Amino acid sequence: MTSNSNIIKSKNKYLESLKKRNLNTPQILQTGLYLTWGTSLLLALTTISGAQVQRHAIKTVGEDAARSVITAQQIKDSLADMGANAVNQLLVKPGQNLTADKGFEYRRERLGKFLVQAAQNITYGDKEREPITNMVNGLTQYMLVIQQARDANARGDNNALLTHYYEAVKINEKQIQPNADTLNQVNLDTLNQTYEQQKIANAASELLILMTGLTLLVVLLGTQLFLYRRMRRVINPKLLAATIISFLFISYSIYALESSVSNLKLAKEDAFESLYALRQARALAYSANRDESRFLLDRANAAKYEQAFQEKINKIVTLPPGYTLKTIIPKLAKGEQVKDFTGLIGDEFKNITSAGEREAAVATMTALDKYLDIDKQIRQLAVSGKYAEAIQLATGLSQGESDWAFEQFKIAHQKLLDINQQQFDGAIKDGFANVQNLEIIALITAITVSTLALFGLRQRLLEYQ
């Protein structure tokens, strides 16, 4: 009711303003026509601007920044897994761990692929180009030094092996890893900033569309009312059609933008937040798996690597006091909220939004629990002086061995990643679809409304010639 009364008041003010200017009937009709043309064009322009702003935000979040963030995380977990395979190669004589040999080469190729992807998706200039270049240079040095460690292993020179290996670790930790973090942060900051700016820009766009659209409706309805009062024309069909088309277009434009905003919110706040946390968890898991092997390679610093392993696991899953993975998993499977249960995967349980996501998260936790049980056995064997058995358990792929258990974790975790990736991709696709052709529709509407107004008033104007 309030909205209707405001429109009536606006129409009356519009008519009164025309009367105060002492305009005759043809002049009033021409003014109404010109105002219709102007406001319909302005409505089209504000809609086009709003659609372009929204499309830019979707592209930045969904295609540019998010893709580079994920690639940076894939670079990090590839580095960690390649490092784990390198350690597994060095734990035994050359050629005795073909799985580690193949794993190292596979990760090296994957790492090269991800670096190429990152280079192909440079959208922020030197902020991305420089860390990518540094990673490529660092990787070249890393490969040379790792080969020196392998050569030392072949000679049976354990001191040289450790010297070269830790030189490779230094290159990774000082040059490659920080640049991967930089690439990640540049794009993550851009993603978050663009998303926040988009929310403000979209609200402004919708307000402008609404204000311009209401102005157009006031002009059309005011002109129609003038014709009724001055010329006793009950309805002008063409002006009525222009009014209905304008109203429908305004409603559609706001609906399209709001739907696109909702899909972008779904992509960013639901899917991407989970996807990013899970990607971080994956990189940490690879790194922890590498620390498990380092625990056996460098016995003098075993305690340091055991601590590093546990710290990374705690970042992945932080259990509340009195809980173990075995006692908390049944509660999570039932959908119960457990107080103080956090960590990257722990937080995932607070953001379950897709079908099958909870089941995949529970399967990931279950696989992690099995892996950690075997890790305890490895450390017990090492403490007992049974290093050969500990190395076999740590590097074995048979059921019940560590690398087998870690592979099960990776498979379960990948399913969880895929669910969130599909949700993210689907929301981005729908967000684009919501504003597809909106600019064309806006221009067609402006032309249609202007043409209808012209022909609707043309007959009345001809009566005064």
pLDDT for 337 equals 87
Contact 313, 281 (CB under 8 A): no
pLDDT for 319 equals 93
Over 90: is that where the pLDDT of 235 sits? no
Backbone angles phi, psi at 356, to 5 degrees: 85, -5
**Residues near 78 by beta carbon (within 8 Å), at least 6 away in sequence:** 107, 110, 111, 114
pLDDT for 85 equals 93
| Six-digit token string for 298 | 């460098």
Per-residue pLDDT tens digits for 151-197: 999 999 999 999 999 999 999 989 999 999 999 898 888 888 888 88
Over 70: is that where the pLDDT of 255 sits? yes
pLDDT for 253 equals 95
Residue 98, amino acid = L
Per-residue pLDDT tens digits for 10-43: 656 655 654 555 567 777 888 888 999 999 999 9
Rounded to whole angstroms, the Cα distance separating 293 from 43 reads 65
C-alpha separations of 242 from 145, 224, 247, 392, 443 in Å: 74, 11, 9, 79, 14
Backbone angles phi, psi at 198, to 5 degrees: -65, -40
Q: Which of 66-70, 336-340, 346-350, 357-361 has the highest mean pLDDT?
A: 357-361
pLDDT for 17 equals 59
Lowest mean pLDDT among 24-38, 138-152, 345-359, 440-454: 24-38
Rounded to whole angstroms, the Cα distance separating 43 from 101 reads 64
Lowest mean pLDDT among 74-88, 221-235, 397-411, 445-459: 221-235
Residue 431: domain span: 2-462
| Six-digit token string for 24 | 């005759």
Over 60: is that where the pLDDT of 311 sits? yes
pLDDT for 25 equals 74
Instruction: Burial-class residue 83 by CB neighbours within 10 Å (0-12, 13-18, 19+).
Output: buried
Q: Residue 341 — left, alpha, or beta (φ > 0 → left; ψ -120 to 50 → alpha)? A: beta
pLDDT for 123 equals 81
Instruction: Give the total number of structural domains in the chain.
Output: 1
Instruction: pLDDT band for 226, please (50, 70, 90 cuts).
Output: confident
Percent of the chain whose pLDDT exceeds 90:
68
- Residue with more model confidence, 9 or 427: 427
Rounded to whole angstroms, the Cα distance separating 203 from 86 reads 53
| Mean pLDDT of all residues belonging to the chain | 90
Over 80: is that where the pLDDT of 3 sits? no
Over 70: is that where the pLDDT of 384 sits? yes
pLDDT for 236 equals 83
Rounded to whole angstroms, the Cα distance separating 198 from 383 reads 56
Lowest mean pLDDT among 80-84, 120-124, 256-260, 408-412: 120-124
pLDDT for 32 equals 82
Contact 243, 227 (CB under 8 A): no
pLDDT for 135 equals 94
Q: Which of 107, 110, 104, 75 is nearest to 88 (CA)?
A: 104
Instruction: pLDDT band for 232, please (50, 70, 90 cuts).
Output: low
Rounded to whole angstroms, the Cα distance separating 247 from 226 reads 20
DSSP one-letter string for 141-201: HHHHHHHHHHHHHHHT-HHHHHHHHHHHHHHIIIIIHHHHHHHHHHHHHHHHHHHHHHHHH
Instruction: Burial-class residue 5 by CB neighbours within 10 Å (0-12, 13-18, 19+).
Output: exposed
